[in-house]
């Protein structure tokens, strides 16, 4: 287990309220992980200490319940069923005839391996090393939440002891040692009774949403109809799945079907009332409709659940801008940056500063984004393109603008489409070649973006243009 995950996983494993099981993935898990944020903590060290202190307090206040939970989970570890937050083993087995064969699973390896520990290789010093490793592996996972992959370190060693136990049983059979065979068989039967039946209802408590992840893959690939179908299957199977309707809402919003998007966002909130992303999505729609009061209400509710939610912080800034409250707008953008907002938000803030007449601050912010080595190359290239545009349009300094765009050419040759745009703006690429290259890189959308750049080049000296209006849309909004 990674150190960054160990502390909260330990708390989940010890807490009897979770029954030893993982928190369902998605918004429920994310809300749980935001507890330290709501407590005002931000650094990894502080958050790790928070969960360790919670686990310690739990042990001090409810030791009997914690021990009972550990005993219950020890029995759950021996269960034959696969249990994971994300990986549905049965679904993947259906994809392959080889995987669907009746291979020995933990329901066999576990009981046989434990019996093998007691009957095989007694007196052999080499066996002790395997037992020590097995004991350490088991002890290292025992306090944590039940996830099938956590018991994998024990499985290979248990398989060795299972094989040795079978060989020992065959030897006893040949020697007609009926008493030893009877005792071993009784122990094996007891372990099988513990392992094979679904005493803990793990099958009906499964939380691995295979269809949701299929939908997410299709959505990323742009196959929206298949994505929506997969999300709907997940919604039908898991009544608590709020992420699927939220994702459908995102797709409908992208398709311009705003009413359907709002319906899906409300469905997501019906399934999970504490869903900051869905609240922010509704706030964005309200803002686009001019309902500033409702937009502000949804956004504030989102921030109460997720205090450093970048999307909500930026929405608050945009709501303030719509109200023409520049000081409040700047304060929200500054808070977003203090909370570690992305380069895209920093560029958006820089453009607003330019519109507000604070050009030196705007240029300084763009320069910081460009010089930040941890930022993506695309974001750094975009910051340089915007800085050059402000130099050309607001400062009337064509030479300085050219220097900014030449930096994009030199530093970011793979930053499509900005590299192509910089070549055109510095007169190193003809308009026809520029348009063809843009279409090759981004299709029809890429060609339309290139036309935005051409229009910008034709109006660079127009000082009456607003910084948000005269810039190509891609420079203003990035990949949003």
Exposure b/e, 229-266, CB count within 10 A at least 16 = b: ebbebbbeebeebbbbbbbbbbbbbeeeeeeebbebbe
List the one residue out of 378, 379, 384, 352 whose CA is nearest residue 366. 384
120-173 pLDDT, tens digit per residue, is 877 777 788 899 999 999 988 888 888 888 888 899 999 999 999 999 999 999
Distance CA 381, CA 378 (A): 5
User: What per-residue confidence (pLDDT) applies to 84?
Assistant: 87
Residue 242 lies in a domain: no
Helix axes 106-119, 178-195, angle to 10 degrees: 150
242-262 pLDDT, tens digit per residue, is 999 999 999 999 999 999 999
Determine contact, residues 313/339, Cβ cutoff 8 Å.
yes
The DSSP line for 34-69 is THHHHTT--SHHHHHHHHHHHHHHHHHH-HHHHHHH
- What six digits make up the tokens of 183? 């005792």
- What six digits make up the tokens of 174? 């040949």
Domain edge (last residue) among 138, 160, 195: 195
Domain edge (last residue) among 173, 195, 217: 195
List the one residue out of 45, 35, 8 whose CA is nearest residue 307. 35
Determine contact, residues 113/161, Cβ cutoff 8 Å.
yes
List the one residue out of 319, 352, 349 whose CA is nearest residue 337. 349
Residue range 450-479: mean pLDDT, rounded: 73
**H helical segments located in 372-430:** 377-393, 398-411, 418-425
Residue of higher predicted confidence among 27 and 396: 27
Domain edge (last residue) among 131, 166, 195: 195
Q: What is the mean pLDDT of the chain?
A: 92
Q: Sort 166 into a burial class: Cβ within 10 Å, 0-12 / 13-18 / 19+.
A: middle
The DSSP line for 313-374 is HHHHHHHHHHTT-HHHHHHHHHHHHHTT--HHHHHHHHHHHHHTT-HHHHHHHHHHHHH-TT
The number of residues in the chain equals 480
List the one residue out of 236, 208, 211 whose CA is nearest residue 29. 208
CA Rg, the chain, in Å? Answer: 30
Residue 245 lies in a domain: no
Residue 363 lies in a domain: yes
3-state secondary structure of 2: coil
54-90 pLDDT, tens digit per residue, is 999 999 999 999 999 999 888 898 999 888 888 888 8
Q: CB atoms < 10 A from the CB of 165, how many?
A: 24
User: What per-residue confidence (pLDDT) applies to 461?
Assistant: 57
Distance CA 307, CA 339 (A): 9
350-381 pLDDT, tens digit per residue, is 999 999 999 999 999 999 999 999 999 999 99
* pLDDT reading at 466 higher than 50: no
Residue 257 lies in a domain: no
User: What per-residue confidence (pLDDT) applies to 277?
Assistant: 98
Q: Sort 342 into a burial class: Cβ within 10 Å, 0-12 / 13-18 / 19+.
A: middle
Determine contact, residues 264/244, Cβ cutoff 8 Å.
no
Residue 324 lies in a domain: no
Residue 172 lies in a domain: yes
User: What per-residue confidence (pLDDT) applies to 467?
Assistant: 47
Residue 169 lies in a domain: yes
* Least confident range of 242-251, 389-398, 430-439: 389-398
Q: CB atoms < 10 A from the CB of 21, how many?
A: 20
Residue 210 lies in a domain: no
* pLDDT reading at 3 higher than 70: no
pLDDT band at 40 (very low <50, low <70, confident <90, very high): very high
Determine contact, residues 299/316, Cβ cutoff 8 Å.
yes
* pLDDT reading at 19 higher than 80: yes
Distance CA 78, CA 162 (A): 14
pTM for this entry? 0.88
Give residue 11's domain range.
3-195
Distance CA 429, CA 435 (A): 10
Q: How many folded domains does the chain comprise?
A: 2
User: pLDDT over 70 for what percent of the chain?
Assistant: 97
């Amino acid at each position: 287990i990674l150190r960054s995950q160990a502390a909260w996983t330990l708390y989940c494993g010890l807490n009897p309220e979770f029954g030893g099981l993982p928190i369902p993935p998605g918004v429920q898990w994310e809300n749980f992980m935001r507890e330290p944020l709501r407590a005002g903590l931000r650094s990894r060290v502080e958050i790790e200490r928070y969960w360790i202190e919670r686990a310690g307090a739990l042990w001090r206040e409810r030791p009997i319940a914690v021990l009972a939970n550990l005993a219950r989970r020890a029995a759950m570890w021996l269960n034959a069923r696969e249990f994971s937050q994300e990986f549905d083993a049965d679904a993947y087995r259906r994809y392959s005839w080889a995987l669907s064969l009746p291979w020995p699973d933990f329901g066999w390896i576990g009981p046989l391996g434990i019996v093998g520990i007691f009957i095989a290789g007694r007196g052999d010093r080499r066996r002790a090393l395997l037992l020590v490793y097995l004991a350490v592996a088991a002890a290292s996972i025992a306090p944590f939440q039940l996830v099938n992959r956590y018991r994998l370190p024990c499985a290979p060693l248990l398989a060795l002891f299972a094989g040795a136990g079978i060989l020992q049983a065959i030897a006893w059979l040949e020697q007609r040692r009926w008493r030893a065979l009877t005792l071993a068989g009784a122990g094996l039967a007891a372990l099988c009774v513990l392992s094979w039946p679904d005493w803990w209802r793990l099958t009906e408590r499964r939380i691995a949403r295979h269809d949701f992840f299929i939908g997410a893959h299709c959505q990323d690939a742009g196959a929206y109809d298949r994505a929506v179908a997969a999300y709907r299957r997940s919604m039908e199977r898991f009544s608590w799945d709020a992420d699927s309707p939220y994702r459908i809402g995102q797709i409908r919003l992208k398709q311009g079907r705003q009413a359907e998007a709002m319906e899906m966002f409300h469905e997501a909130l019906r399934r999970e009332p504490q869903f900051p992303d869905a609240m922010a999505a509704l706030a964005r729609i309200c803002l686009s409709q001019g309902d500033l009061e409702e937009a502000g209400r949804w956004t504030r509710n989102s921030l109460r659940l997720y205090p450093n939610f970048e999307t909500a912080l930026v929405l608050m800034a945009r709501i303030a801008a719509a109200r023409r409250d520049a000081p409040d707008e700047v304060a929200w953008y500054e808070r977003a940056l203090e909370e570690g907002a992305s380069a895209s938000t920093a560029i958006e803030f820089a453009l607003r500063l330019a519109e507000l007449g604070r050009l030196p601050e705007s240029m300084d912010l763009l320069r910081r984004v460009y010089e930040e080595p941890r930022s993506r190359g695309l974001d750094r290239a975009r910051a340089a393109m915007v800085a050059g545009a402000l130099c050309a349009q607001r400062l009337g300094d064509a030479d300085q603008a050219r220097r900014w765009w030449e930096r994009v050419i030199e530093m970011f040759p793979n930053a499509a489409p900005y590299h192509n745009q910089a070549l055109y703006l510095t007169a190193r690429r003809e308009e026809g070649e520029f348009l063809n290259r843009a279409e090759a890189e981004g299709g029809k959308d890429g060609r339309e973006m290139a036309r935005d750049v051409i229009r910008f080049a034709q109006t660079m000296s127009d000082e009456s243009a607003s910084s948000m209006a005269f810039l190509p849309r891609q420079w203003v909004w990035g990949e949003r």
